Amino acid sequence: MINAHDITALVLAGGRGSRMGGVDKGLQTFNGMPLALHTLMRLQMQHGALIGEVMINANRNLAAYEAFCGAVWPDTLADYAGPLAGFMTGLERCETPYLLTVPCDTPLFPLDLAARLVEALDREGAEIAMAAASEEDGQIRTQPVFCLLRADLLESLVIFTQDGGRKIDAWTALHKTVIVPFDAVGDDPRAFFNANTLAELHSLESP
pLDDT digits (tens, 9 = 90+) for 49-74: 678 899 999 999 999 999 999 899 99
Short-list 104, 98, 79, 61, CA closest to 196: 104
More confident call, 180 vs 135: 180
Q: What is the pLDDT of residue 205?
A: 87
Rounded Cα gap, residues 64 and 160, in angstroms: 32
135-158 pLDDT, tens digit per residue, is 767 789 999 999 999 999 999 999
Residue 187 confidence (pLDDT) above 70: yes
Q: What is the pLDDT of residue 167?
A: 92
Q: What is the pLDDT of residue 21?
A: 62
Rounded Cα gap, residues 39 and 205, in angstroms: 14
Q: Would you call 46 exposed, middle or buried from its count of C-beta atoms within 10 A (0-12, 13-18, 19+)?
A: buried
Dihedrals phi, psi of 3, to nearest 5 degrees: -105, 170
1-57 pLDDT, tens digit per residue, is 888 789 999 999 987 665 666 789 999 999 999 999 999 999 999 987 678 899 999
Short-list 13, 18, 19, 9, CA closest to 62: 13
Q: What is the pLDDT of residue 103?
A: 96
Q: Which domains are assigned to the chain?
A: 4-203 (3.90.550.10)
- DSSP H/E element including 64: helix 62-66
Q: What is the pLDDT of residue 80?
A: 62
- DSSP H/E element including 86: helix 83-93
Q: What is the pLDDT of residue 196?
A: 84
Residue 195 confidence (pLDDT) above 90: no
Rounded Cα gap, residues 1 and 4, in angstroms: 10
Average pLDDT, the chain: 91
Alpha carbon dihedral 87, 92, 96, 99, in 10-degree steps, equals: 0
pTM of the shown model: 0.94
More confident call, 195 vs 50: 195
Q: What is the pLDDT of residue 17?
A: 60
Q: Would you call 138 exposed, middle or buried from its count of C-beta atoms within 10 A (0-12, 13-18, 19+)?
A: exposed
Rounded Cα gap, residues 104 and 195, in angstroms: 9
